[in-house]
Structure 1
Amino acid sequence: MSRPESGAPTTTPPPTPPGESPAAPLPAAGPGPGAVAVPPSPCLSKVELRVSCRALLDRDALSKSDPCVMLLMQSRGQWVEVERTEVIKRNLHPVFSKVFTIDYYFEEVQKLRFEVFDINSSSVPCGPREDDFLGAAECTLGQIVSHKKITKPLVLKHGKHAGKSTITIIAEELSGNNNYVELFFSARKLDDKDLFSKSDPFLEIHKLDDDDTFQLVHRSEVIKNNLNPVWAPFTISINSLCSCNYDRLIKDQPGVALWDRGASLGRDVPHADEDLASGPVDGCG
């Protein structure tokens, strides 16, 4: 019996049924001539980013800046806008409720740029103007994820620092829990903070992080001229509300604060400038 040549491994064929010709030996597994090996897909997770700013420049002559943060990601050497936060009126230390959710590829360098603008009513139709620019900061998504929380100075054109302005980005990797919960809140007999009308309350929910700091997870709509507000129901993910730690939700309870803003709000999210109450509120379901 002859033996196969060295270096040419074969696979033993199955037994030949009666009346059929023997099957040829099967070749060893492996890429054929000219085949291109396909690299494995990179590991992927989703990351939530929350942003806040401190000591922003004041671009408005008669009031404070109305900041908004734009998130851009570098693609093929160009910066492409991904999303932007809400506008917070008249606030130089904004904490934004908008959450950026980004796909995180472990093996890729994902460059991010955060640009802060003062959004005036005149700049909304055509986008922010250059003179509304409050500063920018750049980093990679991997840097934010590895540190979980980073603070960077805001820089103007030509590398000039924007005074003492800073931006803080907090990252949280999402687990496989895709559950959501629906919540609704109401309040009764709130303090009246306005002189010529009733308070205009809105509600904020904060969660206690592992570093014992509170993080904003939701900001409600404003109900104008009402001391007994009933806010619209909303849904929020378990990841955002309690980082999928159900004991944290029961034990620590997300912080709830009620605020009043007396000025006209338009369509923008309000600036929290007066504390009406802090603690339990009715109607959480």
Structure 2
Amino acid sequence: MFFIVLFFCHTFFFQFGRTEVIDNTLNPDFVRKFILDYFFEERQNLRFDLGEMCVKTTCDCDLLTFCHDEVFFFADSGIPGKKCGTIIVKAEELNNCRESVMMQFCGNKLDKKDFFGKSDPFLVFHRSNEDGTFTICHKTEVVKNTLNPVWQAFKIPVRALCNGDYDRTIKVEVYDWDRDGSHDFIGEFSTSYRELSRGQSQFNVYEVTLLSFLVDIEPTSLHYMNPYQLNAYAMALKAVGEIIQDYDSDKMFPALGFGAKLPPDGRVSHEFALNGNPQNPYCAGIEGVMEAYYQSLKSVQLYGPTNFSPVINHVARYAASVKDGSQYFVLLIITDGVISDMAQTKESIVNAACLPMSIIIVGVGPAEFDAMIELDGDEVRISSRGRYAERDIVQFVPFRDYIDRTGNHILSMARLAKDVLAEIPDQFLSYMKTRGIKPSPAPPPYTPPSQPLQTMI
């Protein structure tokens, strides 16, 4: 009887997960998988405890090592010179696919393997890995004493089945269960997610048939595009943008994304054009920005780390070139609260505080926003390397505080926009006053034409 307990270390070890128990075998192949967030800037140590906490082995390498190689560890029994076998660990970077699939299979006239009675069949599903090897991803229950089993329907994430690659090979093996763990092999077949999605069909001579196939989208991402309502990012963008766009003369807005892998080579970027055109990232009105946002979700892969400083510096370069008061820049950042470059972001904000610009940060999702509150600087003026910001240019609000309990999203957006933009007039005036910039002369009053207008009907 074997199982493995996985511990994750940040400043101390805590139990992250436990595999299932596998009986009567010295070569267990565990089905249960574990998903860990990977942060390239941190060392993330893991420890594996094998068995009933009596055999331990410690891993002193980070998650990146697992992503590149199959890693072997020798289990230490605690007795000098005695080893208890090998733990083989394999990992793969997960695709952002959020689909799950519900499937059901049956068998027809399977081989009889038991001398007394019929077979006790079950299915084992293997996903193929990037290196061509296979890893178990699901086992069905055992159906006792039958050659025509109907297994229960089961739900599995598409990431677990094929990592979002619809053409990746899926191998399915059929076994006859034995109490002593020496299960008899009946047969196997290979397929793919794409083939399965075509519906009910007969796969091979072992007569294993797909009965049903139902896809379900799991909206676990804050960027999930619900066909019936805006997600939190889109609501925040629309709420603030529709008001602030009235203060822009040409209604053309540069829209940048940060924290994603870009096609075609998977390069990670923290200041990419949402419309896919780095030479001209401008979008026509907030509706154009919204459309660019939706299109980018279909083409890029969200990816860490999350760096704020590149987009702040991007806008600051434009603001630094126009200091005569003729233009004022407002940067809207919508974030889930994760930030990987806090020190660099503070430095960027301190530098930008002397420029004609303000920064609005809207936090979406359930995370704690301590870092965003610190950047706001309402209580303690933000500083970097002993230098304080010349003025407060950051306004932060958590979107969840403005969600209307009755589900009225229009009211939620109105409340959000009101508070988000509340500090902009004072920030604008403080910049102009400290630099002695006065308003331009008012345009001449409107003079009606001397001749009456003629119309043709």
State TM-score, norm by structure 1.
0.63
> What whole-Å deviation, never above 9, does each CA across 1:136-162 have from its counterpart, x for those lacking one?
242334243442421121112266441
> Counterparts of 2:139 and 2:37 in 1: how far apart (Å)?
24
The one-letter code sitting in structure 2 at the alignment partner of 1:277 is G
User: Which of 69, 89, 102 in structure 1 is aligned with 2:4?
Assistant: 69
Matches within 5 A, 1:265-276: 271=181, 273-276=183-186
Q: Whose strand fraction is larger, Structure 1's or Structure 2's?
A: 1
Q: Secondary structure at the match of 2:42?
A: coil
Deviation at 1:84, TM superposition (A): 0.7
Inter-partner Cα distance in structure 2 for 1:261 and 1:91: 13
Residue 277 of structure 1 is matched in structure 2 by 187
DSSP 3-state at the match of 1:247:
coil
Which residue is equivalent to 2:17? 83
What's the secondary structure of 1:239's corresponding residue? helix
1:144 to 65, 84, 94: 65
Q: In the alignment, what sits opposite 1:93?
A: 27
- Which residue is 2:331 aligned to? none
What is residue 204 of structure 1 aligned with on the other side? Answer: 124
Aligned pairs, how many? 195
Instruction: Supply the distance in 2 between the matched residues of 1:255 and 1:135 (Cα, whole angstroms).
Output: 32
Report matched runs for 1:255-274 at 5 Å: 255-263=171-179, 271=181, 273-274=183-184
Distance 1:221 1:96 in 2: 15
User: Displacement, 1:233?
Assistant: 1.1
- Structure 1: where are the runs of 5+ without partners? 1-65, 118-127, 265-270
Runs of 4+ in 1 over 3 A off after TM superposition: 143-146, 158-161
Instruction: Summarize deviations over 1:35-70 as a string: whole Å, max 9, x none.
Output: xxxxxxxxxxxxxxxxxxxxxxxxxxxxxxx11111
1:200–1:222 contact (8 Å) kept in structure 2: yes
1:233 matched to 2:153? The reply is yes
More relative contact order in 1 or in 2 (CA 8 Å, sep 6+)?
A: 1
Aligned to 1:12: none
CA RMSD of aligned residues (A): 2.1
Alpha-carbon distance, 1:272 to partner: 5.7
- Aligned pair in 2 of structure 1 residues 75, 157: CA closer, same or farther (>3 Å)? farther
Pairing 1:162-241 to 2, within 5 Å after superposition:
162-163=83-84, 165-241=85-161
Cα 1:247–1:216 shift into 2, 3 Å: same
Query: What residue ranges of structure 2 are gaps of 5+ in the alignment?
Result: 190-202, 214-457
Contact residue 186 and residue 282 of structure 1 kept, 8 A? yes
Using a 3 Å threshold, how does the CA distance of structure 1 residues 108 and 169 change in structure 2: closer, same or farther?
Answer: same
Structure 2 counterpart SS, 1:144: helix
Structure ID, larger Rg: 2
Q: Percent identity?
A: 33
Residue equivalent to 1:242:
162
CA distance in 1, matches of 2:72, 2:142: 30
Closer, same or farther in 2 for the Cα pair 1:83/1:175, shift >3 Å? same
